[in-house]
Structure 1
């Protein structure tokens, strides 16, 4: 029985310049045929007992789920209702774009049981939004928050980005001012990572991507943490901040190395010691389903060593860190017996602390998280 369910909607009306997720332009795509195939995949998963009494969380991501029309969204939710039991469900989330989340879509999401919205705002600077390839403006982001509250949504989160091409400290501070003025219970903020096969990657290779330096990016991250703390919004993971009771349950499943199922083109899952990924291209995904089989493209049997590594580098992303007691219960070994050398070295460097039965990043370690995580990968 899986703890979480991720459902992938790969369609976008605009491809952002930084995005490397599995996605396609909406126009001229077999959207309804894809939704039919997705519904059939969910039915297969139910028949195989993957859902059991139902997941704790459902998260619809993309792509852009709100690129779908109201009718297409209704088809998607009907498929979920038919095949996914909700006896254990405690969080039902979807991603959304500000300029696509219309009042009628909000009403439908609310009617179908969605309780949490993750809205891709990224910036409140008009010029930076254009550079990112976003289609909304700052006013759209502020409007959609008002509309969502009017529709009865309380559990709202927005995504922000820093370290963007040409971004100044002053622009980042203004984005934080406008974001915090919305008084939301959850914020996610990520530094830009330039991924292969993106517009930004091609520009970077031509020396046409003026990124802020590492020191400026660190200053932006420091400002982010300080402003969130001043507002009483607690950092619970390197890039995520929430008031009490509004942490993302679904994302915590990933960081706690729990099980989750993935449905849709390019979706990933993890269950019974096996990580898997679905076919990414729509045609291959839909053909597999049409042939009556799960559209799984690749599987990997996770070794005990890999599972322990994942427990460390995923768990250390959370401010609470890794519990030595939970590690012992899960693996039958003491964390110090397995990673004592790494933990001692990182403590000496001031990047980790090991106190009260928990191993966690220090304030310095939060800035150098990737360096810490790499020490636990064999």
Structure 2
């Protein structure tokens, strides 16, 4: 009992950089971040692919929340102070003197009959363009939901955890949160921003917290990105707001139309480019059910040093508004990280999984010996945060 208390007390006093990154990886952050620990291999039975074919139609999902109606144009408004009984009736308009219309030359009945016959013949011989069949309008893109809540199963090495993800829209503003707990620690990610003219996400603020203390952040204002740790803030001039750790999957969900994408992403620590291409349409059998998915393959490119990391895979579910139901990625050391959805609610209605199901963590939530050894060997402590939440 004392041994367990000592181990947990050790972790409460000291959270190393390596362990913080592992916790962040649990939140499917490996799209844009690498691990600083080398983890042992593990084997996860692959999900079954029941069918695989070339995609025929890829329909984009769009956010359809409308902006507020414009305010009426400025100007004085005149309102009579008289009551209806006091208002005087309007004076009748004076009679206008009308002039007789000039008489047109009369046509004979034969001329009228001939003109009518000629018009009828022309109508048959030369049909009007207006009579041509009108093509049916394109089917409108399905609307992305206002509220989403999902539970994710996360795996790194032999470790498993569950995370709760929430998406909320108000007007054209969005908010995303993700929370996970492991080894007595609480990791929280927050992203806030707005919807851009093209329907994509424009993040303003991103924060990753460990036990309510900011670990990394990014904020975009007037073409300038400020990002980094509280102890070392960096800045960069960018033409548009980059995606962040948790806005990226939603941005892909509402902008992907089948064409390759290159997306700038800020991890809060670095800037990367994510490149995604459509590989196939797959019928994927997951523990939560059998789903029709779009399988995307991707890579991560770092413009600053030219490094390229492959091995990223995303499965979007078109029948669930392109929600990313599965992700597989690799850390900077080549370790495999995976997440899959175990429960999904859209607009408050459960559409996948059992809401009462939860991922079972090891009894007592003990810290594995291999992880504790790596923590003991690491001397990097997280500095005390000096940045307040905007």
Which of the five TM-score ranges fits, normalised by the shorter chain?
under 0.3
- What is the TM-score when the length of structure 1 is the normalising length? 0.26
- What is the TM-score when the length of structure 2 is the normalising length? 0.25
Q: Which structure is higher in helix share?
A: 1
Whose relative contact order is higher, 1 or 2, with alpha carbons under 8 Å and at least 6 apart?
A: 2
Which structure would you say has the larger Rg?
Answer: 2
Q: Which structure is higher in strand share?
A: 2
